[in-house]
């Protein structure tokens, strides 16, 4: 069995494409079920604002790659030709290594950020809930989560990290230095809460919170000590503020051109600054064409993020050492799975022969008592265990090298076991 990964992320796909492939809970559940129906026995999907990655376990990597890429293209009515430049694929060891790098924050837009480890855990939980997370992917994801936790406790990779919300605030401060600016935060979930707290941490306190469900906005506003605005007055509020941060999980844009036209922005002395940290994007793309508006999305935060990357750059080598340790342990476990069926088969073969000899011996000794019978039975089992101990230990130890396949062939030939059950190694591409 081999690992296969197909994905896209912020390095290979712009936000306009990533938002099309973002999977909320219901869509993710549907994708797992669909891929399982397509013949993939184990499937785990990691879906975030910056990446979509599909992991599977297979005996036919080429077919699995084709199944996943076809599924992705069809899901958005795209041709494979158009989608292919934005995809990356990994197989075997490199697929496992990539997941550990993701979980450790090395592949994140914000180096070392901690949110990804929860998102990786969510992917595994969804797969297990929908019965697509089998033993191999469960073991891999558990190892990746352990690597991520070690990276954050044993190194400084997560110190001084920026959240997306903090990066948005720094972008705002680069544009407007006045702390008395009026800010509207759109949303009432975790992202909106983090955005308000990031503003407050930078001494920006003239904040209003608005959400399509007014009660949620009021509850969060009360909790954070800011004002709540009425959704029915969205256009009016847009005309009164200097900055808007949108932070919702809405599938469709919630701020559109007509809202800003109604806001009478021509009365502003400075352009209205719009920072969209939602994915899918919360602000319609054509808003960027309006006069007196400056619109930024997640991809525009790249320069802000890169400015803080150097603070943690020196920790990358330490994190990679942790990943190497966890990767080696996982790959040894994977390789040991190749010989477990052989060891089991060898033991069953030996036990069956022993049982025949036990029965023949007991038939020849009809007058012995039960205690003596038990001595004969136990003696036979001890002989089996002692004879199989060295082959078993050697088989397991040789899983560290591809030579264990040659050794497995030899064992099967010596003991007349089914040669067809030897699975040859699949090399990384």
- Contact of 20 with 76, CB cutoff 8 Å: yes
**Contacts for 13-17: CB closer than 8 Å, 24+ residues apart:** 13/86, 14/299, 15/279, 15/281, 15/297, 15/298, 15/299, 16/281, 16/285, 17/86
The C-alpha atoms of residue 196 and residue 191 are separated, in whole angstroms, by 9
Q: How many Å apart are CA 193 and CA 178, to the nearest integer?
A: 22
- 185 and 241 Cβ atoms separated by less than 8 Å: no
What's the start-to-end Cα distance of the chain, in Å?
15
Distance CA 216, CA 277 (A): 19
SS3 state of residue 293: strand
Per the CB < 8 A criterion, the answer to whether 53 and 5 are in contact is yes
What span, in angstroms and rounded, lies between the C-alpha atoms of 289 and 295?
A: 9
SS3 281: coil
Please return the burial class of 429, using the count of CB atoms within 10 Å of its CB with bins 0-12, 13-18 and 19+: exposed
Closest CA relative to residue 347, chosen from 381, 396, 394:
381
Q: Is 49 a catalytic residue?
A: yes
3-state secondary structure (DSSP) of residue 14: coil
Phi, psi of 227 (to 5 degrees): -90, 145
Q: Which residues of 264-289 are buried (b: 16+ CB within 10 A; e: fewer)?
A: ebeeeeeebbbbbbbbbbbbbeebee
State how far the Cα of 64 lies from the Cα of 120, in Å rounded to an integer. Answer: 21
Q: What are phi and psi of 88, to 5 degrees?
A: -125, 150
Neighbours of 216 (CB within 10 A): 16
Cis check for the bond before 280: say yes or no (omega within 30 of 0).
Answer: yes
Q: What is the 8-class DSSP label of residue 273?
A: E
Q: Which of 49, 87, 298, 327 is catalytic?
A: 49
309 contacts: CB under 8 Å, gap ≥ 6: 111
Catalytically active residues, by annotation: 49
């Amino acid at each position: 069995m081999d690992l296969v990964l197909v994905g896209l992320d912020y390095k290979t796909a712009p936000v306009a494409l990533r938002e099309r492939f973002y999977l909320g809970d219901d869509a993710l559940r549907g994708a797992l079920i669909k891929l399982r129906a397509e013949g993939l026995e184990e499937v785990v999907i990691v879906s975030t604002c910056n990446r979509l990655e599909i992991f599977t376990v297979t005996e036919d990597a080429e077919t699995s790659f084709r199944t996943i890429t076809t599924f992705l293209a069809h899901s958005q009515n795209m041709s494979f030709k158009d989608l292919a430049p934005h995809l990356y694929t990994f197989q075997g060891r490199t697929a496992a290594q990539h997941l550990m790098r993701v979980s450790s924050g090395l592949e994140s837009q914000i180096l070392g950020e901690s949110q990804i480890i929860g998102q990786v855990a969510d992917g595994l939980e969804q797969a297990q809930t929908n019965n697509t997370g089998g033993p191999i992917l469960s073991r891999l994801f558990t190892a990746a989560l352990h690597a991520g936790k070690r990276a954050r406790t044993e190194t400084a990779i997560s110190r001084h990290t920026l959240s997306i919300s903090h990066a948005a605030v720094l972008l705002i401060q680069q544009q407007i230095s006045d702390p008395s600016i009026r800010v509207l935060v759109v949303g009432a979930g975790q992202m909106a809460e983090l955005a308000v707290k990031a503003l407050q941490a930078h001494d920006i306190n003239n904040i209003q919170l608005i959400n399509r469900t007014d009660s949620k906005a009021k509850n969060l506003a009360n909790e954070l000590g800011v004002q709540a605005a009425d959704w029915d007055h969205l256009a009016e509020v847009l005309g009164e503020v200097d900055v808007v941060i949108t932070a919702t999980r809405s599938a469709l844009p919630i701020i559109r051109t007509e809202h800003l036209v109604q806001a009478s922005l021509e009365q502003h002395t400075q352009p209205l600054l719009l920072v969209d940290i939602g994915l899918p994007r919360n602000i319609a793309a054509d808003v960027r064409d309006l006069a007196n508006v400056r619109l930024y999305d997640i991809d525009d935060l790249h320069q802000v993020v890169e400015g803080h990357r150097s603070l943690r750059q020196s920790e990358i080598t330490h994190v990679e050492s942790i990943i190497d340790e966890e990767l080696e342990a996982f790959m040894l476990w994977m390789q040991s799975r190749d010989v477990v069926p052989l060891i089991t088969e060898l033991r069953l073969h030996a036990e069956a022969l022993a049982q025949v000899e036990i029965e023949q011996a007991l038939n020849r000794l009809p007058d012995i008592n039960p205690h003596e019978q038990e001595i004969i039975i136990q003696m036979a089992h001890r002989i089996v265990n002692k004879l199989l101990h060295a082959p078993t230990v050697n088989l397991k130890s040789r899983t560290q090298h591809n030579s264990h396949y040659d050794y497995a062939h030899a064992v099967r030939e010596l003991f007349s076991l089914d040669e067809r059950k030897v699975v040859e190694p699949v090399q990384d591409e």
